[in-house]
Every structure is written in C-alpha cells, then in structure tokens.
Amino acid sequence: DIQMTQSPSTLSASVGDRVTITCRASQRISAWVAWYQQKPGKAPKLLIYEASTLQSGVPSRFSGSGSGTEFTLTISSLQPDDFATYYCQQYNSYSESFGQGTKVEIK
Amino acid sequence: QDQLVESGGGVVQPGRSLRLSCAASGFTFGKYAMHWVRQAPGDGLEWLGVISYDASSKFYATSVKGRFTISRDNSQNTLFLEMNSLRVGDTAVYYCAKGLPYDSSGYVTLWGQGTLVTVST
C-alpha cells in the first residue's frame, strides 16, 4: 500500500500569510494527488486534483504542485474562511489513501 | 443539484453486522465510480473502497478487505456498504462519495453528509 506522509500536522498562521503543506508518497505516483479541505462537522471539499488542477469554483489563492513523491498545497494569502483541516489523497493505484491531515489554526 | 444522502448508521454491538445505504440524485449515478470513506472521532480520513460504475470491479483497503462489501443498484441510484464482524475500532462517520466517470481509481468530487456508526457494548 502507498503511504502518504503529510506535514506539518498543525500550522499556526495569520490572515494574509502564505501557507504551504507538504505530502510525501512512499513510492512514485506521477501526479495522481488530490487535496481536500474539511471544516469541523462537515464533509471534505475537493480543492485540487492531478496535483495542480484547481477544481471549479475554488479560489485562485489555492495552488498545488509536485510529481513523483513530493507534493505541496499552497495558500497564497490566507483568508478567514481557510482555517480548516487539509488532506492530500493519492489515487495512483486501486488502493487509494489519504495523508494524516494538516490543521491550519489562527495564530 | 448533485446530492448524496447516507443512511443506516447507528449503535451496534461488536461482532454484529450493519448495512449502510447512500441515495444519489442530480446526476447519472450509473456512470460514476463510487467510494466509501470513514472518519473516526477526532481522526483523519480513511479510504475504505471503491466500486466501478457497472459494479464489475471492486477494490478495498487492506484494513476492511474480507469484512466489508460494497455494492450498488444503478436502477435505484443507490450505493451500499455491508459491514460484518464489526469492531469497536470501526466506530466512525461513514461517507459515500462520487468518483470519476467510467474510472475506478480517482479523486472524489462530491461527498455525502456522512452517517455515524458506533460499535459498542
């Protein structure tokens, strides 16, 4: 099984900050990575797929990059609505998996 | 609009079985792969498995293979998760989720609201 190691687990930041979250895959997975945002008590929401393609309706301050084993999600200027938990997901094989999550907190 | 509504959660004793359902609406259900994902209280997301658009292929996480079975009824726009030999560690919110058209592997574009399963004596 492919493991996704996400870091950091918690991130404290202020409105306007640039924020970067990293996911490392245990083996090469091309660009088969998605990123989701989840708020407390709610279902996750798709932000990015194929490592860097922005889902329709998602603000352009979100961006993704990477290929192979290392992937990043960047929020260029953190907004109040962005305080949430973020998960990466690999879908390279027919046994998909999520990272452990990164909680973005208010500093 | 596209919607997924899970049902069937509740409190169940260890060792027992439970069947979850997920009713889909707003899209052509029979065109899409469908996933189940769970989230234990205070924990992260865990992918459980996927069923292809026509039910010809099913893939499961190692943690539930042999105990959980995914099925679908395209005539009723409904997805199912049959869970057997339930354990305390299976306590979680269970989400059904819409995958990609005609592709068993892929990301999730739509999630249900989730249904809570509590395994307890």
The gap from C-alpha A52 to its chain's centroid, in whole angstroms, comes to 10
Q: How much is the pLDDT for A95? A: 83
Q: Which of A96, A97, A103 to mutate to test the interface with B (most CBs of B within 10 A)?
A: A96
Task: State how far the alpha carbon of B29 is from the alpha carbons of A12, A60, A95, B19, B49, in Å.
Answer: 40, 30, 22, 20, 17
| Tens-digit pLDDT string for chain B (121 aa) | 999 999 999 999 999 999 999 999 999 999 999 999 999 999 999 999 999 999 999 999 999 999 999 999 999 999 999 999 999 999 999 999 999 998 777 899 999 999 999 999 9
Sequence length of chain B is 121
Give the C-alpha separation, B55 to A77, whole Å: 43
Nearest CB among A46, A91, A98 relative to B44 is that of A98
Phi, psi of A22 (to 5 degrees): -120, 145
Q: Is B55 helix (H, G, I), strand (E, B) or coil?
A: coil
Nearest-CA residue of chain B relative to A86? Answer: B44
As a whole number of angstroms, the distance between CA B82 and CA B94 comes to 12
User: If we measure between CA atoms, which residue out of B26, B32, B23 comes closest to residue B2?
Assistant: B26
For A91, the closest of B46, B106, B114 (CB atoms) is: B106
Give A97's pLDDT tier (boundaries 50, 70, 90): very high
